[in-house]
């Protein structure tokens, strides 16, 4: 894939690794845009819920993703011109979006949208296939991960801030299932790009991860 003259920084990794927070802070530091691709999948998950169709109904989900518009307006995410920034963070949307993310039609359409956004200028983009599928020619690729328990504790804290309380064991089971889906799906499985820097964040603060990535980008 050619045609990307802007600086694209990809940050991939499993749920709870801290990649979204790291990517957002890194984008601020580099003074470039931030693309939250996970929010795009969540938006389609919300659309599926609103349509009252099964996330396993591939044809119905394909019609929804083909008929939906997704746009970012500063810190807001618009689904069909409606602000759904808060709605997409509910546990129900999280559960559905993790399933529809394995749908090849959903991934194909959202990859198209992500590449179009990438053509608009430099950015930091995070997800699970940014360095392997969406932007394989990106000059700066990172894969951040952490031990399952560390990721579960982070996700649990995030949920508490949003008023949702779940036992650590339940959060760990959810992440374990999500990892299995992401790693074993036939289309664009989650894995580090061959030329990506892999960073274990289990014992690092977010600030330390951002500093590490920033230095690696500067060195290159």
The class (CATH top level) of 7-32+123-213 is: alpha beta
pTM over 0.85: yes
Fold identical between 7-32+123-213 and 38-121? yes
Among the listed ranges 21-25, 99-103, 129-133, 148-152, which one has the minimum average pLDDT value?
99-103
Q: Structure tokens of 194?
A: 């061959």
Higher pLDDT, 218 or 186: 218
Instruction: Report the CATH fold assignment for 38-121.
Output: Rossmann fold (3.40.50)
Average of per-residue pLDDT across 87-97:
91
Confidence of residue 181 (pLDDT cuts 50, 70, 90): confident
**In 3D, which of 155, 143, 111 has the Cα closest to residue 9?**
143
- Cα(40)–Cα(101) distance, integer angstroms: 10
- Cα(207)–Cα(205) distance, integer angstroms: 5
Handedness of CA 113, 118, 120, 123 (dihedral sign): positive
pLDDT attached to residue 5? 56
Higher pLDDT, 75 or 118: 118
Compute the mean pLDDT over every residue in the chain, rounded to the nearest whole number. 92
Q: Give the residue extent of every domain in the chain.
A: 7-32+123-213, 38-121
Q: What is the DSSP letter of 203?
A: T
pLDDT attached to residue 97? 92
Q: Is residue 44 a contact partner of residue 110, using CB atoms and an 8 Å limit?
A: yes
Average of per-residue pLDDT across 6-23:
93
């Amino acid at each position: 894939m050619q045609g990307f003259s802007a600086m694209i920084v990809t940050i991939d990794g499993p749920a709870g690794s801290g990649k979204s927070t790291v990517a957002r802070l890194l984008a601020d530091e580099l003074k470039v845009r931030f693309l939250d691709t996970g929010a795009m999948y969540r938006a389609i998950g919300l659309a599926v819920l609103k349509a009252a169709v099964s996330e396993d109904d591939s044809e119905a989900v394909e019609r929804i993703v083909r008929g939906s518009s997704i746009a970012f307006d500063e810190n807001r995410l618009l689904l069909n011109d409606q602000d759904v920034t808060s709605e997409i963070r509910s546990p129900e949307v999280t559960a559905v979006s993790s399933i529809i993310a394995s749908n090849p039609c959903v991934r194909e359409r959202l990859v198209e949208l992500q590449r179009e956004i990438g053509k608009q200028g430099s950015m930091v983009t995070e997800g699970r296939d940014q360095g392997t599928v969406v932007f394989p020619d990106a000059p700066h690729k990172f894969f951040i991960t952490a031990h399952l328990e560390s990721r579960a504790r982070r996700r649990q804290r995030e949920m508490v801030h949003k008023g949702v309380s779940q036992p650590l064991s339940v959060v760990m089971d959810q992440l374990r299932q999500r990892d299995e889906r992401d790693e074993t799906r036939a289309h664009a499985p989650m894995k580090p790009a061959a030329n990506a820097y892999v960073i274990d964040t289990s014992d690092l603060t977010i600030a330390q991860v951002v500093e590490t990535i920033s230095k690696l980008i500067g060195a290159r």
